[in-house]
A and B are shown apart, each in its own frame.
Chain A
Amino acid sequence: MPETLQFIDLNVISVTFLFIVGFIGGLVSGFIGSGGAFVLTPGMMSLGVPGTIAVASNMCHKFPKALVGAYKRYKYGQVDIKLGLIMSVSATAGVQVGIRLQHLILDKWGQAGSNLYVSVAFVTILTFIGGFVFRDALKSKNNTGEPKTAALAKRLQAIELPPMIQFKRANLRISLWFTIPVGFATGLLAATIAVGGFIGVPGMIYALGATSFVASATELVVAFAMGFGGSVNWAIHGMVDIRLTLIILAGSLLGVQLGAIGTTYVKEHTIKLVMSSIMLIVAVSRGFALPTYLVQLEVISLNPSITSLCDKISFASMCFALSLGAVIILGSMWKAKRSERKAVAQNNA
């Protein structure tokens, strides 16, 4: 381990901060199948944790959290293990390609260039996909019947390209070849912005034809596989600060189970709504981070106070994204519980 890597001293404030952020991240993860990582890593860095240790410790908490979340949602009949495992294989390949791409950009343009690449990826992908999912969530909110399979997924499912695979829990039959790009893109995005689910979950919904419940639950299997592999890699280099990992895990395991329970109280469009809201706000957040990197690369010049303000807005809006997700999830659960109690009281009257 290089001498320059320092493990921070922990105090009550930092422990509390990590626990709360872990809880909210876990809550969102349990609900939409991903999320939390994009706040946790910068959150740890704001406490003075070096970047590589933050990423490593975050990843080491991600795979056990995903395991617990996946198990909980498996009990509710939402996880398609076969689909998750098949996608994990291509996702792992995507992670490796993503890492190599990152190294290439880092060698060519340095740290600022790498950060710019990550932020541009954030903004473009999240804006495009988040906008699409948001629009679909609003449309399907008014649908009272069974959720419809996306048009693209219907077309892909109709193509008989061996090997065709039947996914029982997801209730779909599709060629293996169409699962590969979805899994690969998930891994690539995970290696780039640390949240593969922002492509994985919409990919499963709109390209493969799974419901939001199955897609968000199955994503946890993929997250476990990717997180486990990545964690082993980081641990071999001695980068994991187990204290940070376990403090975040203390909060996130509490949150992920609540998020999983929450999925049984809501309709399908709520999951899409939460996911797309978070994606769009995070896209805005990363947009505010762009000026700093452009200044570092000497593409533009700005007053340091402006770049500092942009960084603060960027971080604050990321926290807001996560908090908003948590509020929507908890609010939906509370509403559903209240109507359930009302209905039972009326029945008994």
Chain B
Amino acid sequence: MNVPKLMVIGTSEPFSQGVADYAIALAQRMRCEILAIHLSDTPLRLTVPLPSLSDAQFTTLALDAGVSLSHRTQTGPMKRCLPMLCKTIKRLSLIVADAGLCVEQRHIHPTIPVVEFCTDFKPKPEGAHMTPTKEAKKRDGIVFKTVVTGIMSVSLYAILFMNVETVMLWFTKGGGYAALPILTALLFSLVHGAFTGNIWSLLGVDAKTSPSSTVKPVTTDEGKAKPFFLRFNVMKPKVNV
């Protein structure tokens, strides 16, 4: 039967108790099947260790709640696995990502909502929601890229202007030499364009994306662990069209 699916994605480690409870509660409400996927090639969870449960326990819990559940392990990096899963799984209604996984919107089909399950930190006022460690890593990445492209850009300008007489001699010859200024302009635009783009990112000047909003967690049975914080992130790649 073509039942809607709710995909829970986690690392190679067991799923956290909280995400299992939440996924089961959602699946009950939405009358979905759960497809629990372990992505074997993801970085280890960077959040505080959470109470977790084995696949068998997860299955038992789901069956007790009247929700059908199947497990799968997917080998490969997230950026390759997620788009493939979104394409191949029919009637995929929702994705729930276990704590510590940073799901990037470009890996998901734009019409499939993603819930990132987080329990131990405050939400950032704007932008993507990540663990502090991942946020620092992302910033380091931008700094690195800015420095590298900056060095390349400055080097190109330096090389050109230190040899300006030779350059002007060849670049103004005309005829077939027309390729020289054209290709030079293109090369500089690629390198310097990347540099300037990184500068704006480093300064925190980025395009405005759709806002994220906090959602109260769905209550499960009494006595079970509740998430302290849950962020519902609607992936909307297009802005101002």
| A264 adjacent to B207 (CB under 8 Å) | yes
Stretch at the interface among B64-72, B95-103, B113-121, B171-179: B171-179
Q: CA separation between A245 and B189, bound complex, in Å?
A: 11
**B160 CB–A CB distance under 8 Å:** yes
Bin the interface of chain A by size: 35 or more
Q: CA separation between A275 and B58, bound complex, in Å?
A: 59
Bin the interface of chain B by size: 35 or more
**A257 CB–B CB distance under 8 Å:** yes
Interface centre among B161, B178, B200, B206, by most chain A C-beta atoms within 10 angstroms, is B178
With contacts A246-B157, A246-B160, A253-B189 taken as known, whether A169 is within 8 angstroms of B171 at the C-beta atoms is: no
The interface residues of chain A lying within 8 Å CB-to-CB of B164 are 243
| B188 adjacent to A249 (CB under 8 Å) | yes
Q: Please report whether the interface of chain A is mostly helix, strand, loop or mixed according to DSSP.
A: helix
| A344 adjacent to B192 (CB under 8 Å) | no
| B189 adjacent to A68 (CB under 8 Å) | yes
| A257 adjacent to B238 (CB under 8 Å) | no
**B193 CB–A CB distance under 8 Å:** yes
Q: CA separation between A254 and B169, bound complex, in Å?
A: 29
Contact with B along A210-229 (1 / 0, CB 8 A): 01011000000000000010
With contacts A1-B174, A238-B174 taken as known, whether A336 is within 8 angstroms of B185 at the C-beta atoms is: no
Q: Please report whether the interface of chain B is mostly helix, strand, loop or mixed according to DSSP.
A: helix
| B178 adjacent to A236 (CB under 8 Å) | yes
Q: Considering the complex, which residues of chain B in the window 193-241 have a beta carbon less than 8 Å from any beta carbon of chain A?
A: 193, 196-197, 199-200, 205-209, 213-214, 237-241
The answer, among A7, A232, A239, for a CB contact under 8 Å with B168, is: A7
| A68 adjacent to B174 (CB under 8 Å) | no
The interface residues of chain B lying within 8 Å CB-to-CB of A268 are 240
| A237 adjacent to B239 (CB under 8 Å) | no
| B185 adjacent to A238 (CB under 8 Å) | no
Nearest first, the 10 closest Cβ-Cβ pairs linking A and B are A64-B189, A238-B174, A77-B238, A235-B178, A344-B125, A68-B193, A264-B207, A238-B172, A264-B208, A236-B178
